[in-house]
């Protein structure tokens, strides 16, 4: 594949990086056959109720803490997952097609691919200006599964997070070959975490939307973090599909790419 200019090769993954394509996660012990009395604490919010019933989260008791903000789903056309997630964030005030035009003019993308968190932050600024809204944001390096991030989510922050997507769009580990963007719009702390929110990875779920489904998803913040940390290289398959992609200097695993980076928005 041709790039303009050709990026240097990405940094090699560390020797102890798991090459497993799927992340281990807790599976529900039993199938639910009667949904009539589950997740009553979420009954006033159909989207929240549906995702918690589906993923069997707090079926019979209210979570220790949770926040959720609903965004209308937008389905992506082509490799525009990041543009769609950003458009959802601002309520469609700037459409994915309008964002695509901006990315082409600014040189961020050719087909809608957003392979740099830094460029995504610049695009967000332009989108906010067009929509005449002011949303404070921070480009974060690492620390997705951290006390700071969890506390910010509980206080209403929204995240744009790149990760590797499995066949069902849940986080996986494919070294960046299936890189995708998700809008993190809520968090659930199932039980009292005691001294630290990060003491039990299976106790913290995030609620997410993305461009390949109309349905809200729930994943542990830990698995999303591990997927974000494994974004080492652009897909070799896509590199040979005949399209011209804009890759950041240093590749997606470098400091200008996606790995161990995300964007946090406050005060929506």
- The residues annotated as belonging to the active site are 81
Given a contact cutoff of 8 angstroms between Cβ atoms, the answer to whether 237 and 137 are in contact is: no
- Tokens, residue 97: 């097609």
In whole angstroms, how far apart are CA 154 and each of 21, 68, 148, 217, 263?
A: 30, 9, 10, 18, 16
What is the dihedral angle through the alpha carbons of 152, 23, 26, 260, rounded to the nearest 10 degrees? Answer: -10
Rg, Å, the chain Cα set: 18
Region label for 96, one of left (φ > 0), alpha (ψ between -120 and 50) or beta (otherwise)? alpha
Instruction: Find where tokens 């961020």 sit.
Output: 108
């Amino acid at each position: 594949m041709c790039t303009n200019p050709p990026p240097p090769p990405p940094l090699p993954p560390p020797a102890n990086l798991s090459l497993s394509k799927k992340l281990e996660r807790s599976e529900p012990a039993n199938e639910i056959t009667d949904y009539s009395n589950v997740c009553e604490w979420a009954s006033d919010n159909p989207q929240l109720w549906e995702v918690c019933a589906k993923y069997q989260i707090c079926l019979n008791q209210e979570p220790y803490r949770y926040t959720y903000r609903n965004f209308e789903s937008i389905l992506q056309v082509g490799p525009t997952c990041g543009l769609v997630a950003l458009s959802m964030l601002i309520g469609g005030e700037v459409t994915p097609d309008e964002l695509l035009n901006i990315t082409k003019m600014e040189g961020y993308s050719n087909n809608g691919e957003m392979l740099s968190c830094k460029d995504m932050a610049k695009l967000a600024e332009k989108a906010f200006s067009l929509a005449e809204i002011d949303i404070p944001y921070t480009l974060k390096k690492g620390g997705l599964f951290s006390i700071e991030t969890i506390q910010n989510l509980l206080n209403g922050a929204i995240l744009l997070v790149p990760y590797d997507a499995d066949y069902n769009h849940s986080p996986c580990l494919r070294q960046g070959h299936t890189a995708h963007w998700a809008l993190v719009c809520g968090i659930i702390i199932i039980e009292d975490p005691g001294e630290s929110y990060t003491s039990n990875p299976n106790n913290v779920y995030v609620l997410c939307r993305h461009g390949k489904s109309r349905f809200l998803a729930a994943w542990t913040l830990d698995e999303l973090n591990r997927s974000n940390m494994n974004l080492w290289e652009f897909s070799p398959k896509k590199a040979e599909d005949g399209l011209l992609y804009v890759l950041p200097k240093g590749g997606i695993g470098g400091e200008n790419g996606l790995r161990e980076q995300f964007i946090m928005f406050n005060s929506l």
